[in-house]
Every structure is written in C-alpha cells, then in structure tokens.
Amino acid sequence: MASYPYLNATVLPAPSSSTQELLIDKSVVETAQNKTAWDARSKKYRYTLNWDFITVNEYDILEALVNNFEALTFIWNKYSVTVSPGISVLATLSDRQSITAGNQSTGFYSKVTLTLMEVNKR
C-alpha cells in the first residue's frame, strides 16, 4: 500500500493536508410534468495536496514532474479510487510561497499546493 502519495514512480513527501472533490458534469432536463431535473453525465475527482513546509529539492522534483505536460499516474491509499494501479491525472503546481529565509541548500522552506485532475471521466 502507498502510505505516501506517488506521481508516476516518484514518492512525494507527505502533504500537510489534502482534499478529494467530486466534480459532476450535469445536464439539465425538463420532465413531462414541466419540472426541471438534472442528470449526471460524468464524474471526475480533483485532488488538492498542500504542503506547509517543503524543501527546495522536494519542490524541484514536483516541478519536474508537472512541467512534462503529460498525464501522470497518481497512487495513494488515502483515497479508495487512487489505490494501485492508480489513476491518470493532469497536474498543476502553485508558485512557491516563502516560509523561511535561507538558500537552496539549507534552511529554505516553501508553502505549495499541487492540484491533480482526473483525465478519464467515470
């Protein structure tokens, strides 16, 4: 089981917090009784992983994965739909928000958010 999140074969540091949000693509229809109803055409999940303290090296690893502009495999046992073999996601990474002073080799931490959107609809 993946106790830490994985993107492709890369183990990510444990995030400070994370969310899973269900996004539903709806179609609105009018029924025979002139009532408006909706039907779910498809569903996707969006995952948001937040790090309150991440090193420069860890951020660089995330950035290298995201900047490939290709679908990544996301595996994490925290969410039942992301267990092995994982799901295909597109990733976006926030800019670094400096938390502590320092340089790239020591003492520099940032706050970042990684957003993952499922590629395939359910």
- How high is the pLDDT of residue 1? 44
Q: What is the mean pLDDT of residues 55-74?
A: 91
- Three-point CA angle 62, 19, 96, nearest 5°: 35
Burial class from Cβ neighbours inside 10 Å (0-12, 13-18, 19+) for residue 12 reads buried
Question: What is the pTM for the complete model shown?
Answer: 0.81
- Three-point CA angle 44, 50, 52, nearest 5°: 175
Judge if the upstream peptide bond of residue 85 is cis by omega within 30 degrees of 0.
yes
Name, in order, each residue with C-beta under 8 angstroms of 38's C-beta and a sequence gap of 6 or more.
26, 27, 28, 29
Choice among 4-13, 99-108, 112-121 with the minimum mean pLDDT: 99-108
Q: What is the mean pLDDT of residues 37-48?
A: 81
Instruction: Give 2's pLDDT tier (boundaries 50, 70, 90).
Output: low
Give the residue, 28 or 89, on which the prediction is more confident. 89
Inter-CA distances, 52 with 80, 89, 98, Å: 25, 23, 10
Is the pLDDT at 20 greater than 90, yes or no?
yes
In this predicted model, what pLDDT tens digit does every residue of 74-109 receive, in sequence order?
A: 999 999 888 889 999 999 999 888 776 665 556 678
- How high is the pLDDT of residue 69? 86
Q: What is the mean pLDDT of residues 35-51?
A: 83
Instruction: Give 40's pLDDT tier (boundaries 50, 70, 90).
Output: low
